[in-house]
């Protein structure tokens, strides 16, 4: 016995529709949580990350002891949270003796863990320690510039993975129209060694230059830290293929011979094959249906009837 | 998108994501001071941002109150999706039928002309056209049975139609669920286990009933359910059996000895002058007599019965004296 359950309020219906899978996706929502033990650096990193991503992030404040992203059973809680909050990228911070100041960045596909990367935090400088002219402070929710520098991001597979994850994390909403006055922040990531990435957040200063394009200047405002690559887990092949598939992947097969014209409308050409006139079939040549036969038959009947008439007379 | 700068370096620029990547810069492996390093990073980033901005500000922009708005191109970096591509919904039974028969959808007007009242009425809702309930007279046909109520029959038919439609809707949703394309606002939930063959729904047990049953089960434990670990929110079991309220024996300060009073009341009622009104002497005598008779008859009955049931003694046999 199955029962159909539909939402009773318009609001509930809209929330469900918002969470449904879409053809073209806007940015991911972030889930920020921490594990059994966190140091001061880790908790401040998580807090500042939350502030940077205010509109599209959810921060959990309690400790989560049963989340171990790299273990096979330790992901169930994460997947449950992802489903509840509709977040598809998470930042999990923890601190242990073996892995001090640890940050695990992970992505989800269909609320299942897709890939993970673990980084350690070094040389962390908080938002509050930077002094700058408050006029240039970036506003909340603006779309940031993201800059990657260094050959490491192309050569080292872990750094390549990190680049992808950081793009997803910092990207924000995918929009069609952008207001040019709202460009005021940039994330700078530089691969200073094959295992280390220097990450910082800057405000943009647009200075007048001779051309339409203003001169850009960066002022360091936000948290800056060194990320040391520890572990990572790439997605398995089939899952990656499925996740990378977009609706526009298959190029639409061009309809041959059909043309659209503003004046004439849709036109196409009909190509006739060579007509061999002597071999063309005009009518059905099966025995009982020969036209000549029929006609002759009719004629015979007429003459017969006439003959009969004559004879009778 | 790639751009060349003066130093002939190629940057990978993705304007849709406001992303810039410089794959050619090599940071010194022996790092100079931290500040130098930071400065170098910022300088490289500045160049990248400038490159992106060059592309961005050269797009055609429309002026609005908030500022110039530019149409961003779609992003070029391939990133994995967060959810699967929405799957196509399988056609419903009606849609299949319509396709086969070539039936086209026709747009219906919200307001329809009503012949009877010569005015426009809405098609659905209050005061609608051709309302089934408003028919005052139903003419009898030759095929109608004499005792049948045509209005009730109409209601029944409507109920059947509605039930059939619900069933069809459920079938369509089940097919959609199988294809993985259930609409986002619909959930199909199982209301009862399909184990038994009967179609009747299992009775829903209320909170109190559950508590009673749990209490009953608890009494079968060795300690009678007193020391069982309780779930959060579970209440203590209700006391079974008669409730004796015992009054305090020792009187409190200034309080009256309640038990003494209670016994005094009872005594005074029995011994009082009007005790015959309270005590039904006749009934008491009858009860006493009946009890007596039962006792007597019980004894005699018992002996008679036992005689018949006892095995009959054989008088011919003499008792043997074995012990000598």
What is the structure's pLDDT at A107? 94
**Least CB-CB distance to B54: which of A192, A213, A240?**
A213
Torsions phi, psi for B57 (to 5 deg): -75, -15
Q: How far apart are CA B307 and CA B298, in angstroms?
A: 14
CB A134 within 8 A of CB A246: no
- For residue B58, list chain A residues with Cβ-Cβ distance below 8 A: 212-213
Strand partners, A200: A188, A224
For residue B123, the distance in angstroms to the closest alpha carbon of chain A comes to 24
Q: How far apart are CA A70 and CA A230, in angstroms?
A: 12
**Least CB-CB distance to B49: which of A179, A186, A200?**
A186
Instruction: Show which of residues 294-313 on chain A sit within 8 Å of chain B, judged by CB atoms.
Output: none
**Least CB-CB distance to A151: which of B26, B81, B186?**
B26
Span of A7-16, A139-148, B306-315 with lowest mean pLDDT: B306-315
Is some CB atom of chain B closer than 8 A to the CB atom of A138? Answer: no
Q: Which residues contact A49 (CB under 8 A, 6 or more apart)?
A: A30, A32, A57, A91, A223
Do the strands A258-261 and A265-268 form a parallel or antiparallel pair, or are they unpaired?
A: antiparallel
- Token pair 């990193």: residue: A45
Is some CB atom of chain A closer than 8 A to the CB atom of B270? Answer: no
What is the structure's pLDDT at B313? 66
CB B22 within 8 A of CB B11: yes
| Structural Rg of chain B based on CA atoms | 48
Q: How far apart are CA B53 and CA B71, in angstroms?
A: 14
> Hey, of B2, B18, B187, which one would you mutate to test binding to chain A, going by the most A CBs within 10 A of its CB?
B18
Torsions phi, psi for A169 (to 5 deg): -70, -45
Cβ count within 10 A of residue A257? 10
Percent of chain B with pLDDT over 70: 82
The continuous run of DSSP H or E covering A18 comes out as helix A10-19
Is some CB atom of chain A closer than 8 A to the CB atom of B10? Answer: no
Mean pLDDT along residues A181-204: 91
Most confidently predicted of A238-242, B217-221, B255-259: A238-242
What is the structure's pLDDT at B8? 44
The continuous run of DSSP H or E covering A30 comes out as strand A30-34
- Token pair 């609320």: residue: A111
The first and second tokens of residue A269, run together, are: 């050409």
Question: Does residue B165 have a pLDDT over 90?
Answer: yes
Of residues A165, A171, A177, A167, the one with CA closest to residue A141: A171
CB A56 within 8 A of CB A172: yes
Of residues B136, B137, B133, B130, the one with CA closest to residue B116: B130
Q: What is the mean pLDDT of chain B?
A: 82
Question: Does residue A249 have a pLDDT over 70?
Answer: no
CB contact under 8 A, A110 and B72: no
Q: How far apart are CA B302 and CA B304, in angstroms?
A: 6
The first and second tokens of residue B216, run together, are: 């009953």
Distances (CA, A) of A220 to A117, A203, A258, B155, B227: 26, 6, 57, 76, 65
Is some CB atom of chain A closer than 8 A to the CB atom of B22? Answer: yes
Do the strands B10-14 and B2-4 form a parallel or antiparallel pair, or are they unpaired?
A: antiparallel
Is some CB atom of chain A closer than 8 A to the CB atom of B42? Answer: yes
Which residue does chain B place closest to A173, by CA atoms? B17
What is the structure's pLDDT at A161? 93
Is some CB atom of chain B closer than 8 A to the CB atom of A55? Answer: no
Of residues A158, A117, A147, the one with CA closest to residue B23: A147
For residue A62, the distance in angstroms to the closest alpha carbon of chain B comes to 21
Distances (CA, A) of A293 to A283, A290, A303: 13, 5, 15
> Hey, of B37, B81, B177, B191, which one would you mutate to test binding to chain A, going by the most A CBs within 10 A of its CB?
B81
Question: Does residue B166 have a pLDDT over 90?
Answer: yes
Q: What is the DSSP secondary structure assignment for residue B248, as one 8-state letter?
A: P
Q: How far apart are CA A192 and CA B28, in angstroms?
A: 8
Q: How far apart are CA B3 and CA B12, in angstroms?
A: 7
- For residue B50, list chain A residues with Cβ-Cβ distance below 8 A: 213, 215-216
Of residues A189, A188, A116, A124, the one with CA closest to residue A152: A189
**Least CB-CB distance to A146: which of B17, B50, B186?**
B17
Query: What would the 3-class secondary structure string for A201-239 be?
Result: EEEEEEECCCCCCCEEEEEEEEEEEEEEEEEEECCCHHH
Q: What is the ipTM of this complex?
A: 0.74
Question: Does residue A217 have a pLDDT over 70?
Answer: yes
Question: Does residue A313 have a pLDDT over 60?
Answer: no
Question: Does residue B52 have a pLDDT over 50?
Answer: yes
Q: How far apart are CA A159 and CA A194, in angstroms?
A: 8
**pTM value surpassing 0.95:** no
CB contact under 8 A, B68 and A181: yes
**Least CB-CB distance to A244: which of B49, B54, B80?**
B80
Coil/strand/helix, residue A58: strand
CB contact under 8 A, A150 and B22: yes
Question: Does residue B200 have a pLDDT over 60?
Answer: no
How open is the CA angle B120-B123-B124, to the nearest 5 degrees? 135
What is the structure's pLDDT at B130? 82
**Least CB-CB distance to A212: which of B37, B58, B169?**
B58
The first and second tokens of residue B87, run together, are: 């799957």
Do the strands B19-22 and A145-149 form a parallel or antiparallel pair, or are they unpaired?
A: parallel
How open is the CA angle A126-A128-A130, to the nearest 5 degrees? 85
Which residue does chain A place closest to B21, by CA atoms? A148
Cβ count within 10 A of residue A29? 18
CB contact under 8 A, A25 and B83: yes
Mean pLDDT along residues A67-85: 90
Instruction: Show which of residues 20-49 on chain A sit within 8 Å of chain B, judged by CB atoms.
Output: 20-23, 25, 28
Torsions phi, psi for A196 (to 5 deg): -125, 140
Span of A28-42, B107-121, B193-207 with lowest mean pLDDT: B193-207
Question: Does residue B323 have a pLDDT over 60?
Answer: no
What is the structure's pLDDT at B236? 73
For residue A265, the distance in angstroms to the closest alpha carbon of chain B comes to 24
What is the structure's pLDDT at A78? 92
**For chain B, give me the number of helices (H) and strands (E)?**
7, 8
Using a 10 angstrom Cβ sphere, with 0-12 exposed, 13-18 middle and 19 or more buried, the burial of residue B267 is exposed
What is the structure's pLDDT at A96? 93
CB contact under 8 A, A143 and B42: no
Confidence class of residue A287 from pLDDT cuts 50, 70 and 90? confident
Question: Does residue A258 have a pLDDT over 80?
Answer: yes
């Amino acid at each position: 016995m199955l029962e159909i359950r539909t939402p009773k309020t318009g609001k509930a219906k809209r929330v469900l529709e918002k969470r449904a899978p879409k053809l073209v996706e806007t940015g991911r929502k972030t889930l920020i949580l921490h594990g059994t033990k966190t140091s001061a650096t880790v908790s401040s990193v998580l807090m500042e990350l939350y502030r940077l991503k205010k509109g599209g992030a959810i921060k959990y404040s309690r400790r989560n002891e049963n989340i171990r992203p790299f273990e096979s059973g330790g992901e169930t809680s994460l997947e449950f949270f992802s489903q509840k909050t509709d977040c598809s990228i998470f930042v999990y911070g923890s601190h242990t003796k073996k892995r001090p100041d640890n940050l695990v960045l992970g992505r989800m596909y269909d609320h299942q863990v897709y890939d993970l990367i673990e980084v350690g935090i070094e040389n962390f400088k908080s938002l509050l320690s930077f002094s700058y002219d408050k006029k240039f402070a970036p506003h909340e929710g603006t779309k940031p510039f993201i800059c990657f520098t260094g050959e490491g991001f192309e050569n080292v597979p872990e750094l390549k993975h990190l680049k992808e994850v950081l793009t997803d994390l910092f990207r924000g909403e995918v929009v069609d129209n952008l207001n040019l006055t709202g460009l005021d922040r940039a994330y700078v990531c530089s691969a200073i060694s094959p295992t280390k990435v220097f990450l910082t957040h800057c405000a943009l200063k647009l200075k007048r230059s001779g051309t339409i394009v203003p001169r850009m200047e960066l002022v360091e405002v936000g948290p800056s830290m060194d990320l040391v690559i520890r572990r990572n887990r790439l997605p398995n092949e089939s899952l990656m293929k499925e996740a990378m598939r977009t609706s526009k992947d298959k190029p639409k097969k061009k309809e041959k011979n059909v043309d659209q014209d503003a004046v004439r409308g849709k036109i196409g050409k009909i190509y006739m094959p060579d007509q061999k006139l002597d071999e063309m079939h005009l009518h059905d040549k099966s025995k009982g249906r020969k036209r000549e036969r029929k006609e002759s038959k009719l004629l015979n009947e007429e003459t017969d009837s006439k003959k009969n008439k004559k004879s009778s007379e | 998108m790639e751009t060349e700068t003066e130093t002939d370096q190629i940057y990978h620029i993705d304007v849709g994501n406001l992303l810039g990547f410089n794959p050619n810069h090599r940071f010194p492996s022996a790092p100079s001071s931290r500040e130098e390093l930071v400065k170098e990073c910022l300088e490289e980033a500045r160049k990248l941002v400038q490159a992106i901005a060059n592309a961005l500000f050269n797009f055609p922009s429309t002026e609005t109150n908030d500022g110039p708005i530019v149409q961003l191109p779609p992003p070029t970096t391939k990133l994995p999706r967060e959810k699967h591509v929405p799957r196509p919904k399988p056609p419903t039974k009606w849609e299949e039928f319509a396709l086969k028969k070539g039936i086209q959808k026709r747009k219906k007007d919200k307001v329809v002309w009503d012949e009877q009242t010569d005015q426009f009425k809405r098609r659905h809702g209050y005061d609608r056209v051709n309302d089934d309930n408003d028919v005052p007279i139903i003419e009898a046909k030759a095929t109608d049975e004499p005792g049948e109520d045509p209005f009730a029959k109409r209601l029944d038919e409507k109920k059947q139609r509605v039930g059939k439609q619900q069933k069809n809707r459920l079938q369509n949703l089940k097919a959609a669920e199988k294809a993985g394309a259930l609409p986002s606002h619909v959930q199909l939930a199982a209301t009862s286990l399909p184990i038994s063959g009967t179609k009747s729904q299992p009775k829903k047990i209320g909170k109190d009933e559950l508590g009673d049953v749990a209490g009953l089960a608890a009494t079968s434990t060795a300690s009678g359910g007193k020391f069982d670990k309780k779930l959060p929110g579970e209440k203590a079991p209700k006391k079974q059996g008669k409730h004796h309220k015992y009054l305090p024996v020792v009187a409190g300060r200034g309080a009256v000895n309640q038990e003494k009073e209670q016994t005094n009341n009872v005594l005074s009622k029995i011994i009082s002058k009007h005790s015959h009104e309270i005590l039904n002497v006749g009934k008491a005598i009858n009860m006493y007599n009946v009890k007596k008779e039962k006792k007597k008859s019980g004894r005699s009955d018992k002996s008679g019965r036992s005689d018949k049931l006892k095995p009959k003694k054989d008088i011919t046999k003499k008792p043997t004296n074995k012990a000598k």
